[in-house]
Amino acid sequence: MKRGRIRGLLAAVLLTSSLWGGTSAYAASEIRVDGNQPAVSSAGIDISYDYAVWILQGENTITLYDIYDSRETKIGNKSSKKTEPKVDGEYVAWIDDRHGGADVYVYDIRKDRETRITSGRTEATQLELAEDKIVWVDERDGNVYLYDLKTGVEKQVSKSGKASSPTVSRSYVAWEDKRNKNSDIYYYDISREREYQATSKSANEGKPSLYDDQIIYEYDKGSDTDIHLYEIGRDRDDQLTDSSDDELMPHMNEDYFIYVEGNNLILGDVTRPSRASVIEKGIHSRIQPRIAGDFVLFVKRDRDDNLTLHMYDTEDEELVPIGGMGGEPSQPHGDDRYVVYINEAGKYTSVVLSDLEKRTSKIISQANRDASRPLVSSPYVVWFDDRDETLVAYNIRTGKLSAPIGGNDYPNPDMYELVGNHLLWVNDGRRQSIMLTDLSTGETEDLASLREQPLAIGINDEYAMWVTGGGRTSSIILYDLRRGREEEIRRNVDVKGAALGEDYVVWSEYSDSTNSYDLFYYDLYRQRSNSMIRWTDKDQINPQMSRNVVLFENNRLSGKSNAFYYELYDLDEDNFLDEPWSDDAEMEEVRMGGNRVVWIDTRGSKTGVYTGAFASPRDDDDDDNGGTQPDDYTDYDLMKSLTDEDFVDELVKYDISKVYFVFNVGTSKEKTLLFMEGLNDLDLFFKLFEESPADKVVIRAYH
């Protein structure tokens, strides 16, 4: 087969490709992906001695957070709207619209069971919960209802039809009532089944909060609003605040009470109310803060106008992390669709997986463990379990954890790399062994034994790489996974980092001629080495590689030998790429994977996980339960396409980033080449073409 006809086809496509969407250079800005403080909806928050609840922004499920284990559980279905979540004892209650109305639901934490409490035409609002008692106002008649979870009995406790803001304790229900035109506080004795009036002054009394037999409430006398406390057993009313400003939204637990003054959150003791003090400024005053035990839960608005959740420890007098992802992030890594990182909250560290497409994050590691160095390459996440001193794998598609390393092996906590289902790792036994584990089958192969720990390792679909030795005696070894054969591609050099991409090995090597560390690469298909960039002054070190893009540290323009900055270089295009991070980024722990760079950023007052993409993402099939289906793409026989006058018009209907050449299709030797890469590198295309029978070459276009 002559090359001319194929060149003609490629030239025709190249000519038409100016009309092909997506051929322009990829540009993306950085985004913050960690949940350092949960962004919540305005549906409400609550806290008890052991738990907190909230609803994340954009979600319908309720997050139940175990304060002391730093663990999250999702409650309720994903489709119906939920509001006013409350938690106390072993129960979570909320209002749910899944049946078209506004029903009350309850979740038993211990039994992991959800129950619908109301039925029919209930229009519940202003729900509260205390131990096994739930109260709400039914908007149909404006009265307060009480439900006892132990007896399963629902009871109407107000009769005025003008009740609001109910609150409940073990023995009483209290509420605001406008039966006398102005607002008064009424309460209901549950055991006596009798209603009483607590306040009857000319001022408006409202927004009560009940703890045991004490009712704290707003006292609006017209000129300003103060906080008062009514004790049921003593029939006594005391004024707790006397500022000329409005004190609003009181809530109490035991002897402590909180309220809002302006945008300040104030904490006081009912036995010494004059000593109340501000614990936080700038809170969001439209969502009531809640207090229980040693903690206060409240909401603020961040600079992006999101509602963020915060928790204050009254004993230690400081803000503390809230949410399983609310701790200190570190050790990030990324793939096209996902970012993983370590979250340190409380006594343990956990692995957080962020789905950039769905904009969700979740903890995927087990509770009460210590995890480190997570890596993600769809469909797997792998990390080191510090307690068991082994590697753990998580399947994104199935949500299952596994231990892929045998009990008699000792994986090095810093020497493992992941690409798809291939896990390359170093076994710290009597000798340093390079091991390859197929996570989909569990099979492990011993590739090589070394005298000492390698300086670096890497893997792609066809090769493994490692660096041996040290100082000026380092060697770079390339291992062909298909042939089971290793080759020394560089020897007796001083290496400052090495990485393996899809088509290249790249490393930093000390050069006597320049007295600096310079970057070199080895082309896997052309089997030759060359310097990566034209200028060689100063140091370029610690290269990382994903796809065929290199991320490296450079001090050429910094003016100081120890002041390095990051740069991106595309080996295929032989040029530098625009950085996907902003000028004010303060980058630490920088990694790359898939089409993105991820890093820990210390700008501002809070550390965060950031990412920026340097290329378009490739197809991800993590939602289709097992991979690409036959009708997800169309194969065009290359040889038939050469004589089809309409083929170019047909092909340009597809997204160029989803079109590939496939060689040796359907065989164990199958290889793929991105269509545009083939157009830009005809030597590589014809090399792969000549290794494949002509009838085994197709153009594959994904839909």
User: Residue 58 is part of a domain; what is its CATH number?
Assistant: 2.120.10.60
Q: Could you tell me if residue 627 is inside a domain?
A: no
Task: Based on the fold, state whether residues 494 and 388 are members of the same structural domain.
Answer: yes
Percent of all residues in the chain with a pLDDT value above 70, rounded to a whole number: 91
| Last residue of one domain, picked from the residues 613, 643, 660 | 613
Which is more confident, 401 or 623? 401
Task: Based on the fold, state whether residues 442 and 560 are members of the same structural domain.
Answer: yes
Q: What's the order of all strands across the beta sheet hosting 463-468?
A: 456-459, 463-468, 474-480, 485-493
Does pLDDT of 623 surpass 50?
Answer: no
Question: Among 471-480, 579-588, 652-661, 689-698, whose mean pLDDT is lowest?
Answer: 652-661
**What mean pLDDT, rounded, does the chain reach?**
88
Q: Residue 146 has what pLDDT?
A: 98
Q: What is the pLDDT of residues 393-435, one digit of tens each?
A: 999 988 899 999 988 899 999 999 999 999 999 999 878 999 9
Residue 605, amino acid: S
Task: Based on the fold, state whether residues 362 and 452 are members of the same structural domain.
Answer: yes
Does pLDDT of 36 surpass 90?
Answer: no
CA–CA separation, 216 vs 461, rounded Å? 66
Q: What is the pLDDT of residues 656-691, one digit of tens each?
A: 777 888 888 877 677 888 887 777 777 788 888 888
Q: Could you tell me if residue 304 is inside a domain?
A: no
Which is more confident, 158 or 674? 158
Q: Residue 643 has what pLDDT?
A: 72
Contact present, 525 and 485 (Cβ < 8 Å)? no
CA–CA separation, 281 vs 168, rounded Å? 29
Q: Could you tell me if residue 213 is inside a domain?
A: no
| Last residue of one domain, picked from the residues 584, 613, 642 | 613
Task: Based on the fold, state whether residues 590 and 678 are members of the same structural domain.
Answer: no
Q: Could you tell me if residue 698 is inside a domain?
A: yes
Contact present, 521 and 508 (Cβ < 8 Å)? no
Q: Could you tell me if residue 287 is inside a domain?
A: no
To 10 degrees, the CA torsion angle through 108, 111, 114, 117? -50
DSSP calls for 286-350: TS--EEETTEEEEEEE-TTS-EEEEEEETTTTEEE--STT-SEEEEEEE-SSEEEEEEEETTEEE
Q: Could you tell me if residue 259 is inside a domain?
A: no
> At 680, is the secondary structure helix, strand, or coil?
helix
pLDDT tier, 619 (very low <50, low <70, confident <90, very high otherwise): low
Residue numbers of the domain that contains 346: 328-613
Q: Tell me, what DSSP letter sits at residue 59?
A: -
Contact present, 227 and 214 (Cβ < 8 Å)? no
Task: Based on the fold, state whether residues 638 and 575 are members of the same structural domain.
Answer: no
Task: Based on the fold, state whether residues 485 and 532 are members of the same structural domain.
Answer: yes
Q: Residue 655 has what pLDDT?
A: 76
Q: Could you tell me if residue 240 is inside a domain?
A: no
CATH code of the domain covering residue 341: 2.130.10.10
Is the Cα torsion angle 690, 696, 699, 701 positive or negative in sign?
negative
Does pLDDT of 26 surpass 80?
Answer: no
Total domain count, the chain: 3
The neighbouring-strand residues paired with 229 are 216, 238
Helix, strand, coil percentages for the chain (3-state, nearest 5): 10, 50, 40
Task: Based on the fold, state whether residues 451 and 589 are members of the same structural domain.
Answer: yes
Does pLDDT of 358 surpass 80?
Answer: no
Does pLDDT of 12 surpass 60?
Answer: no
Contact present, 265 and 250 (Cβ < 8 Å)? no
Q: What's the order of all strands across the beta sheet hosting 71-75?
A: 46-47, 51-54, 62-66, 71-75
Burial-class residue 407 by CB neighbours within 10 Å (0-12, 13-18, 19+): exposed
Q: Where are the beta strands (DSSP E) in 337-473?
A: 338-345, 348-355, 360-363, 371-377, 380-385, 390-395, 400-402, 411-419, 422-428, 432-438, 444-450, 456-459, 463-468
Which is more confident, 649 or 278? 278
**Mean pLDDT on 238-245:** 93
**Mean pLDDT on 495-520:** 94
* β-pairing verdict for 380-385 and 371-377: antiparallel
Which is more confident, 99 or 435? 435
CA–CA separation, 186 vs 184, rounded Å? 6
Task: Based on the fold, state whether residues 587 and 539 are members of the same structural domain.
Answer: yes
pLDDT tier, 35 (very low <50, low <70, confident <90, very high otherwise): low
Q: Residue 71 has what pLDDT?
A: 76
Task: Based on the fold, state whether residues 658 and 511 are members of the same structural domain.
Answer: no
> At 414, is the secondary structure helix, strand, or coil?
strand
* Paired tokens of 474: 């380092």
**Mean pLDDT on 374-386:** 96
Task: Based on the fold, state whether residues 530 and 670 are members of the same structural domain.
Answer: no
Which is more confident, 430 or 51? 51
pTM of the predicted structure, to 2 decimals: 0.61
CA dist list (Å): 560 to 490, 494, 497, 508: 30, 22, 20, 19
Contact present, 477 and 465 (Cβ < 8 Å)? yes
CA dist list (Å): 355 to 337, 341, 358, 362: 6, 12, 6, 9
Q: Residue 59 has what pLDDT?
A: 86
Does pLDDT of 345 surpass 90?
Answer: no
Percent of all residues in the chain with a pLDDT value above 90, rounded to a whole number: 62
Contact present, 239 and 226 (Cβ < 8 Å)? yes
CA–CA separation, 194 vs 332, rounded Å? 59
| Last residue of one domain, picked from the residues 101, 128, 156 | 156
Burial-class residue 274 by CB neighbours within 10 Å (0-12, 13-18, 19+): exposed
Size (the chain), residues: 703
| Spatial CA neighbour of 529 closest among 473, 571, 569, 481 | 571
Which is more confident, 4 or 499? 499
Does pLDDT of 649 surpass 80?
Answer: no
Task: Based on the fold, state whether residues 581 and 672 are members of the same structural domain.
Answer: no
Q: What is the pLDDT of residues 535-553, one digit of tens each?
A: 778 899 999 999 999 999 9
CA–CA separation, 503 vs 329, rounded Å? 33
Q: Could you tell me if residue 271 is inside a domain?
A: no
Q: Residue 657 has what pLDDT?
A: 73
Task: Based on the fold, state whether residues 467 and 568 are members of the same structural domain.
Answer: yes
Does pLDDT of 573 surpass 50?
Answer: yes
